[in-house]
């Protein structure tokens, strides 16, 4: 959000220019925004006279920004982080880009606009496979899940494998959206360490564009501990590289137990055979560094600290020394939650993972158990290669943690939010159905005019004998059109649905949504409405197809455009309203789209409540087969200290509400099939081309 107009409004107009700029800079203090020197602002760059070297001006702007963005101690947070190689780029293109970003829509946009833009491009960068397979870019779904569970909202927050600082940015979103505060108004500071120089620059820029203050240091966390925060962190979050080998034992021995640094309180994991090489030097190496990361995250926490991190699934069951480390860790009572995540959440790799959560401030009654959640069957298909959590899936999984912690009021508030969403969508349905019906009626007008006034003579004019339209064909069309107009089934179903929507909205208005019993009683009414919403959606789609087929018959088989009675333009305009918008072309939603969306969304939020109530009917935590279980330390010991959720939660019984999960599975299969078909076509083309080349 551009806070400059707000700051300038508080400065008297008679203040001299030099003093005015100093007051503007002062005004940015205490706001989650970056102060830009006047020469680095879009309006200044957009107003440069013709012939100016725009690349040079942008380079100078970057230098000025680096000099001006400092923390409270005066340290330059972006020094060396911003790109400056603009001199070789096309000057007209640079000028046009500046004009795009200087548009009024962006200048007056509300919220964290440029931060969100930066996040978008970072995600696109990650999906392209950049930076060693993209392991430094944690998928937003996993970042949000970690932040939602550990709830970082104060104190020292550390990510010792910070990549592009996505964990810190999501923490900022959490503070603003859940705690309803600005990060500048909270006692929080971010500490990051990153091995790659490029990623550290991305991280510093990411913090800056979101108005966050943090210290990012370059270093290999196995050997370097630049922040020296052992036992001092309120929160630790990370997505470290998995299954790293080659860490030199000689360089980390001092970290064990109460020795020099104490970052490895439970000892060294397995050691590989001695190796020789220019990278590792001579000596022993750690065979797999997963247990190093796990211990680091635990050791950095203070006595009430929480940690959440991504880890390879294999780390939950690894044997030998890794198993011994897990035993010591489990016996502390500080392992809080283990959550299994399915395939395809990472951008460039199809591998499952596990989210680990520690809580050194766990209440006494939970210290002898661990919450196991198997979320491998919870996902939304984006493409054949990519799965994500929807907002509701994130919230529903988080609700399990709330109930486990005894935070029943949060669960009830989530259900209330869903039921209010149902009300919002039900309110939108009547007007959208009316618009959809009006579009169908508008299409009926040119079709009826054609059916009643068209003659065979005009339709068959200048046509070959074998292409002549018969009276029987025209009569068949008239009969089909008359049947469509006389059919009252859809109208009756719509009337019944609208009555049910009105009754359901009245029930929502009368219910006390802060009371669980009232929510359950209301949900019985909404559950009955769900199938009606879906059925009406299917009827509307069938009606669309029926009338579009009539139009297609008139135009293609009966040559309606040759009839003076047929208004082709009106028919084509209405046809557009009854077809789905092309998302690849960024087309606006059509009349058809918006009515079906309202019906689907209302049914969707009804299903979200049903999902929660069917598993936790008393709004209290309980074990759910195939999903979650509170496991005692004794049970974990009996399972050789495995922390794999699937070993404990079992398999879910078939349930009647698995329709949405089944649809998600089918969507994934369809996406994979489509990708395979595309590859087959591409391969066939290459084979054909090679064959032609061989034949000369």
Distance in angstroms (rounded) separating the CA atoms of residues 451 and 481: 8
* For residue 435, pLDDT beyond 50: yes
Other beta carbons within 10 angstroms of residue 150's beta carbon come to 26
Confidence of residue 123 (pLDDT cuts 50, 70, 90): low
pLDDT in tens, 142-189: 999 999 999 999 999 999 999 888 899 899 989 989 988 888 788 999
Over residues 362-367, the mean pLDDT reads: 95
The token pair at 229 is 């925060």
Q: Please, which residues bridge with residue 233 across strands?
A: 301
Average pLDDT, rounded, for the chain = 85
Residue 614: which H helix or E strand, with range? helix 591-615
* For residue 645, pLDDT beyond 60: yes
Distance in angstroms (rounded) separating the CA atoms of residues 341 and 313: 9
Question: What is residue 207's predicted lDDT score, i.e. its pLDDT?
Answer: 85
Over residues 554-559, the mean pLDDT reads: 94
Confidence of residue 131 (pLDDT cuts 50, 70, 90): very low
**With contact defined as beta carbons under 8 Å apart, do 603 and 591 qualify?**
no
pLDDT in tens, 478-505: 999 999 999 999 999 999 999 999 999 9
The number of C-alpha atoms within 13 Å of 32 and in the hemisphere containing its C-beta is 24
Over residues 2-19, the mean pLDDT reads: 65
Distance in angstroms (rounded) separating the CA atoms of residues 653 and 649: 12
* For residue 18, pLDDT beyond 90: no
* For residue 541, pLDDT beyond 50: yes
* For residue 378, pLDDT beyond 60: yes
Distance in angstroms (rounded) separating the CA atoms of residues 550 and 542: 12
Question: What is residue 61's predicted lDDT score, i.e. its pLDDT?
Answer: 78
* For residue 133, pLDDT beyond 50: no
* For residue 44, pLDDT beyond 90: no
* For residue 656, pLDDT beyond 50: no
pLDDT in tens, 608-631: 999 999 999 999 999 999 999 999
**Pairwise pLDDT comparison (215 vs 48), residue with the higher score:** 215
- Which alpha helices (DSSP H) does 29-128 contain, by range? 42-46, 54-68, 91-101, 104-107, 113-127
Question: What is residue 445's predicted lDDT score, i.e. its pLDDT?
Answer: 96
Smallest CA-to-CA distance from 375 within 348, 398, 341, 343 is with 341
**Pairwise pLDDT comparison (344 vs 311), residue with the higher score:** 311
What sign results for the dihedral spanned by CA atoms 381, 382, 386, 390? negative
Query: Nearest 10 degrees: CA dihedral of 613, 618, 619, 624?
Result: -70
* For residue 691, pLDDT beyond 90: no
Distance in angstroms (rounded) separating the CA atoms of residues 269 and 284: 12
């Amino acid at each position: 959000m551009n806070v400059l107009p707000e700051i300038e409004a508080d400065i008297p107009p008679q203040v001299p220019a030099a003093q005015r700029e100093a007051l503007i800079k002062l005004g940015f203090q205490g706001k989650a925004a970056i102060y830009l020197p006047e020469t680095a602002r879009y309006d200044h760059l957009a107003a440069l006279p013709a012939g100016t070297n725009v690349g040079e001006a942008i380079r100078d702007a970057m230098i000025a920004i680096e000099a001006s963005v400092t923390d409270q101690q005066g340290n330059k947070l972006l020094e060396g982080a911003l790109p400056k190689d603009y001199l070789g780029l096309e000057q007209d293109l640079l000028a046009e880009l500046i004009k795009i970003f200087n548009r009024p829509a962006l200048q007056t946009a509300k919220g964290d606009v440029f931060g969100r833009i930066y996040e978008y491009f970072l995600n696109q960068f990650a999906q392209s496979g950049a930076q060693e397979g993209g392991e430094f870019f944690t998928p937003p779904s996993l970042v949000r899940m970690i932040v939602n569970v550990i709830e970082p909202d104060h104190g020292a927050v550390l990510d010792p494998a910070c990549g592009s600082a996505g964990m810190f940015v999501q923490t900022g979103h959490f503070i603003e959206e859940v705690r309803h505060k600005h990060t500048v108004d909270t006692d929080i500071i971010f500490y990051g360490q990153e091995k790659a120089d490029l990623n550290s620059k991305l991280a510093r820029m990411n913090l800056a564009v979101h108005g966050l203050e943090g210290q990012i240091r370059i270093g290999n966390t196995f050997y370097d501990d630049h922040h020296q925060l052992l036992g001092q962190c309120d929160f630790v979050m990370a997505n470290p590289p998995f299954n790293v080998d080659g860490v030199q034992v000689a360089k980390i021995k001092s970290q064990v137990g109460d020795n020099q640094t104490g970052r490895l309180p439970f000892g060294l994991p397995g050691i590989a055979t001695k190796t020789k090489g220019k990278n590792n030097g001579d000596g022993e190496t750690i065979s797999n560094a997963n247990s190093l990361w796990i211990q680091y995250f635990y050791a950095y926490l203070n006595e009430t600290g929480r940690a959440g991190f991504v880890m390879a699934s294999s780390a939950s069951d690894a044997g030998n020394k890794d198993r011994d480390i897990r035993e010591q860790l489990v016996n502390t009572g500080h392992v809080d939650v283990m959550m299994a995540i399915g395939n395809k959440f990472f951008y460039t790799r199809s591998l499952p993972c596990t989210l680990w959560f520690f809580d050194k401030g766990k209440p006494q009654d939970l210290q002898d158990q661990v919450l196991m959640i198997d979320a491998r069957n919870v996902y939304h298909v984006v493409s054949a290669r990519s799965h994500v959590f929807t907002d509701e899936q994130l919230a529903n999984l988080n609700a399990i943690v709330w109930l486990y912690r005894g935070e029943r009021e949060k669960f009830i508030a989530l259900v209330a939010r869903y039921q209010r969403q149902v009300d919002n969508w039900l309110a939108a349905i009547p007007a959208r159905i009316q618009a959809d019906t009006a579009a169908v009626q508008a299409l009926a007008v040119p079709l009826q005019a054609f059916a009643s006034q068209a003659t065979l003579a005009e339709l068959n004019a200048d046509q070959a004998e074998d292409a002549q339209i018969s009276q029987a064909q025209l009569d068949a069309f008239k009969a089909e059109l008359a049947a469509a107009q006389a059919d009252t089934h859809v109208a009756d179903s719509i009337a019944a649905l609208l009555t049910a929507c009105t009754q359901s909205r009245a029930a929502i208005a009368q219910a006390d949504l802060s009371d669980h019993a009232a929510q359950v009683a209301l949900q019985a009414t909404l559950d009955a409405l769900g199938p009606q919403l879906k059925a009406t959606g299917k009827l509307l789609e069938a009606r669309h197809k029926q009338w579009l087929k009539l139009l297609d018959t008139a135009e293609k088989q009966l040559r309606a455009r040759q009839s003076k009675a047929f208004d082709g333009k009106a028919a084509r305009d209405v046809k557009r309203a009854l077809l789905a918008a092309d998302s690849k072309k960024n087309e606006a939603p059509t009349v058809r789209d918006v009515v079906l969306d309202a019906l689907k969304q209302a049914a969707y939020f009804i299903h979200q409540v049903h999902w929660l109530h069917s598993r936790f009917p008393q709004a209290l935590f309980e074990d759910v087969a195939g999903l979650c279980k509170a496991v005692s330390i004794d049970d974990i010991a009996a399972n050789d200290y495995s922390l794999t959720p699937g070993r404990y939660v079992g398999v879910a019984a078939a349930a009647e509400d698995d329709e949405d999960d089944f649809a998600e599975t089918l969507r994934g299969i369809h996406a994979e099939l489509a990708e395979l078909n595309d590859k087959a076509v591409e391969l066939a083309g290459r084979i054909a081309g090679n064959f032609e080349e061989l034949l000369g």
